Amino acid sequence: MGQVLIDHLAVVIVIAMIAAVAFWHVWAFYLKPLAIPEAEIDAIVDELIARHGPDAEDWARSYEEEAWYRSDTLQQGRWRRVRRELWRRHKAGEWE
């Protein structure tokens, strides 16, 4: 009976570790970037459009990819938000 409890305890610990990693990922990649002010995202988008024109989304994607290679989840989230704003502006006809 004691061995069964130990086996189940190991499963619970593994599940708790997986849940902790999942929570950390959601926090760092999705929730923490939401704390970046909208004005900052707009300023980045405006600068990208002014500097790179129709290639602005490609540049934002490359910055996001660069952050991915460095395992910088906050920067990945920042550039993902920038890309979403670029897409939103493109769909609204504010940018080509």
Q: What is the structure's pLDDT at 4?
A: 65
Q: Is residue 73 part of a domain?
A: yes
Residue 60: domain span:
2-91
Read off the pTM.
0.77
Q: Which two tokens stand for residue 11?
A: 């499963």
pLDDT tens-place string over residues 10-60: 888 888 899 999 998 888 888 888 899 999 999 999 999 999 999 999 999
Q: Is residue 74 part of a domain?
A: yes
Q: Is residue 41 part of a domain?
A: yes
| Angstrom distances, CA of residue 70 to CA of 8, 17, 20, 51, 66 | 37, 23, 22, 24, 6
Q: Is residue 96 part of a domain?
A: no
DSSP H helices, the chain, are: 2-26, 38-52, 56-69, 73-91
> What is the number of structural domains in the chain?
1
Q: What is the structure's pLDDT at 5?
A: 59
Q: Is residue 46 part of a domain?
A: yes
